[in-house]
Amino acid sequence: MSVQVWTWILVGVSFALYFGIAIWARAGSTKEFYVAGGGVSPLANGMATAADWMSAASFISMAGLISFMGYDGSVYLMGWTGGYVLLALLLAPYLRKFGKFTVPDFIGDRYYSNVARTVAVVCALLVSFTYVAGQMRGVGIVFSQFLQVEINTGVVIGMVVVLIFSFLGGMKGITYTQVAQYCVLMFAFLVPAIFISLQMTGNPIPQLGMGGTVEDGTYLLDKLDTLHRELGFNEYTNGSKSTWDVFAITFALMAGTAGLPHVIVRFFTVAKVKDARKSAGLALLFIAFLYTTAPAVAVFARTNLIETVNNQAYEDMPEWFKTWENTGLLGWADKNGDGKIQYVNGNAIDGKKPIFTENRGEHGERIIENPSADTNEFYVDRDIMVLANPEIANLPNWVIGLVAAGGLAAALSTAAGLLLVISTSISHDLIKKQIKPDISEKGELLAARISILVAIVIAGFFGIYPPGFVAAVVALAFGLGAASFFPAIVLGIFDKRMNKEGAICGMVVGLLLMLFYMIRFKTGLIGIMDPLPAEDWWFGTSPEGFGTIAMLVNFVVSIVVSRFTKPTPQEVQDIVENIRIPSGAGEASSH
C-alpha cells in the first residue's frame, strides 16, 4: 500500500480511538472536567503526564533542532528534562498539599488577593497561548504533508479534533485520551529510530547506534563532523553559543517548566499525594524513552539528509524530496545553473521561508522567487526532519504513516491540556472566583466549554500565523513561564514573608520585561521596525534564554517590595508553614 493509504488508515484508527475515549469519558461535573474526578491511577496519570509533556516540540521539533544545531540543540534536551525533575521534586508535592489545582488559584489564595489572581490568569493565558501556537503549527505541518492539504487547512482540521475530545470530556476525557496518545507517539518515535539505527550501524538500540560505527569503520559522529566541516557548517559536536547563553536557555526552560500550568494540574488528578509522587516518577521514565532517543534520531537524520541532497542532480532526487517541496517546507534554487543541489553553510533564500511560484524550472523544480546571494542552494524547515526521516532512510510505507499518527498524537495531546488550562483560568479563576462567585456548577461547566471554543479559535490563528518554528515558539512560552510564575510559586512555598505586593510587582515586571525582549528581538515592533540582530542582545542573551534574566529581576523585585510593605497575615504564614510538613508527620520531638 502507498504512504497515503497507510497514513489514512493509521491516523483514522488512532483518531477513532481518541473520539471513542472522549465519548466514554464524558465529564458530568466540574471536578471531572477540571481534574478528572481525582481518581486516575498513577500508571495512567504517568502516561498522560508524559503525553502532556511531550508536545509537538518534543516529538517533531526537538530532534530537528539538534539535527541542525548539533551541540547547541542540547540546551532543549537538558532544559526540558531538568525542568520536569525540578517540578516533580521541588514544587508539585507542595502545590498538591496546598490543594489548588490551578496556578492562578494557588497564587490568588497564597497571596490573599484577587489582583494577584488576575495577574496570574493573564500570565497563564499568555504562556498557554504562546505554547499552544507551537502545537497547532505542528499539527498543520503533519496534515499538510501526509494528508496532502495546505498547512492552514491542517491547522483547522486539528482545531476541530482537539475541540471534540476536550469539549466533551474535559480533563477526564483528555487524561484517558492522552494515555492512548502516549502509546501511539512513543511507538511512532521508537520504531523508525530502531530501523534506521540497524540500517546505518547494525545496532538496534538507537542510543548506542549514535555512538557506533558505519560501514567503513568510521564512528558515525566523526563522519558527521567531517561532513559538516567540508560544507562550512560548525563542527557538529562543538557549540557556537556562549557558555552563558547555554546556561540561560537551559535554566529558562527548566524554570519555565516548573511554572507550566497544564503540567502542574496533572498532580491533582490522582487520589493521594503518594500517588502523585508515583505518577511523577513513572512520567519521568516514560519521558526518558523519547528524550534519550531524540539525539540519535537527530544524528541519523542529519547524516542521511546531507548524503542524499548535497551535490546531487535534482532529477535524481527521490520522491520524498519533491513531495515535501510542494508543501513549501523545503526548496531548491539552482543559482549556478549546474542542475545539482549545493548544500553548504549560508542562507538559500531571502527571508524566513521560500516563496514558490507555480512555474517549474528547467529541471522540473518549483521556482523560488526569493533566492539569496549566498552559495547555499538548499532550504529546509527544521521542523520536518523527524517526519521526513523515515522517507529519507527509505523505510517501509507503514512506518512513514505511523510517524504521521505519532506527530499528531504529540501535538494534539499537549494542545488539549493547554486549552483546558485556558478554559479553567477563565471559568474557575476569573468567573467563579471573582466575577460571579454564586455561579452554579452547570453554569461554570458551560463557561469552561465556551472558553475552550474561543481559545481554540485564537490558538488556530496563532497556528496559521506562527512567530517561528515550533520549538522556538515553545521555548519563548517557557521563558514567559520562568519570568512570571516561577518566582511567585517558589517564594509562595518557601518564603513566609512574601506578601501580595511583592508577588504582584514581581510578576508584572518579569512578564513585561520578557514580553518586551521577545517583541524587540524576535518579531520587532510590528509595523514600526524590524527585530534587532543578535549583536544587540543584552548581556549576550538570546530571546530563548532571556527568561532567566527576567526571572532573576522578578525575584529581586518581589523580595525587595515585600520587605518594604506590610507583612503577610499570620494565618497565611501558618498555611505556608503547614504545606512544607510532609503528610502524616508530627511535630519535631526532643526525646
348-404 residue pLDDT tens: 888 777 787 777 877 777 888 888 888 888 888 877 788 888 888 888 888 878 887
Q: Report d(CA 454, CA 422) in Å as an integer.
A: 10
Beta carbons within 8 Å of 254's beta carbon, 6+ residues apart: 79, 82, 83, 86, 482
Q: Cell triple for residue 162?
A: 482537539
Segment among 148-157, 166-175, 180-189, 534-543 with least mean pLDDT = 166-175
Sign of the alpha-carbon torsion through 110, 112, 114, 119: negative
- 410/457: higher pLDDT: 457
CA separation, residue 46 to residues 29, 246, 249, 506 (Å): 23, 30, 27, 33
pLDDT at 504: 93
Segment among 151-165, 213-227, 372-386, 406-420 with least mean pLDDT = 406-420
pLDDT at 558: 95
Q: Is pLDDT above 50 for 343?
A: yes
pLDDT at 555: 95
List the one residue out of 282, 382, 293, 388 whose CA is nearest residue 53: 282
- 440/569: higher pLDDT: 569
Between β-strands 366-368 and 340-341, what pairing exists: parallel, antiparallel or unpaired?
Answer: unpaired
pLDDT at 550: 93
Q: Is pLDDT above 80 for 58?
A: no
In this structure, are residues 3 and 400 in contact, taking their beta carbons and an 8 Å threshold? yes
- 250/460: higher pLDDT: 250
How confident is residue 169, by pLDDT bands cut at 50, 70 and 90? low
List the one residue out of 360, 357, 383, 385 whose CA is nearest residue 370: 357
How confident is residue 191, by pLDDT bands cut at 50, 70 and 90? confident
Q: Is pLDDT above 70 for 172?
A: no
Q: Which of 54-91 are b and which e, b meaning 16 or more Cβ less than 10 Å from the residue's Cβ?
A: bbbbbbbbbbbbbbbbbbbbbbbbbbbbbbbebbbeeb
In three-state secondary structure terms, 433 is helix
Between β-strands 312-313 and 366-368, what pairing exists: parallel, antiparallel or unpaired?
Answer: unpaired
In this structure, are residues 332 and 312 in contact, taking their beta carbons and an 8 Å threshold? no
Q: Report d(CA 101, CA 124) in Å as an integer.
A: 13
| DSSP β-bridge partners for residue 378 | 332
Q: Report d(CA 142, CA 400) in Å as an integer.
A: 11
Tell the CATH topology of 3-22+41-208+221-301+394-579. Sodium/glucose cotransporter (1.20.1730)
Q: Is pLDDT above 90 for 54?
A: no
Q: Cell triple for residue 504?
A: 504582584
Q: Report d(CA 115, CA 132) in Å as an integer.
A: 26
How confident is residue 170, by pLDDT bands cut at 50, 70 and 90? low
CB atoms under 10 Å from CB of 153, counted, come to 15
Beta carbons within 8 Å of 580's beta carbon, 6+ residues apart: 94, 493, 494
Residues 68-126 have pLDDT tens digits of 888 888 888 888 888 888 877 777 777 777 776 677 888 888 888 888 888 888 887 77
pLDDT at 178: 77
Residues 226-272 have pLDDT tens digits of 888 888 787 777 777 888 888 998 998 888 877 666 677 777 777 77
Residues 7-38 have pLDDT tens digits of 778 878 877 877 777 677 665 555 555 554 45
Q: Report d(CA 414, CA 50) in Å as an integer.
A: 10
- 292/105: higher pLDDT: 292
CA separation, residue 496 to residues 530, 544, 562, 578 (Å): 44, 31, 10, 11
The type of residue at 312 is Q
Residue 525 is given by DSSP the state B
% of the chain beyond a pLDDT of 90: 6
Residues 430-439 have pLDDT tens digits of 777 777 777 7
Segment among 18-22, 399-403, 529-533, 535-539 with least mean pLDDT = 529-533
Residue 210 is given by DSSP the state T
Global pTM value: 0.78
The type of residue at 67 is S
Mean model confidence pLDDT for the chain: 79
Q: Cell triple for residue 462?
A: 496563532
In this structure, are residues 154 and 404 in contact, taking their beta carbons and an 8 Å threshold? no
How confident is residue 455, by pLDDT bands cut at 50, 70 and 90? confident
In three-state secondary structure terms, 332 is strand
| DSSP β-bridge partners for residue 45 | none
| DSSP β-bridge partners for residue 356 | 368
How confident is residue 588, by pLDDT bands cut at 50, 70 and 90? very low
pLDDT at 586: 38
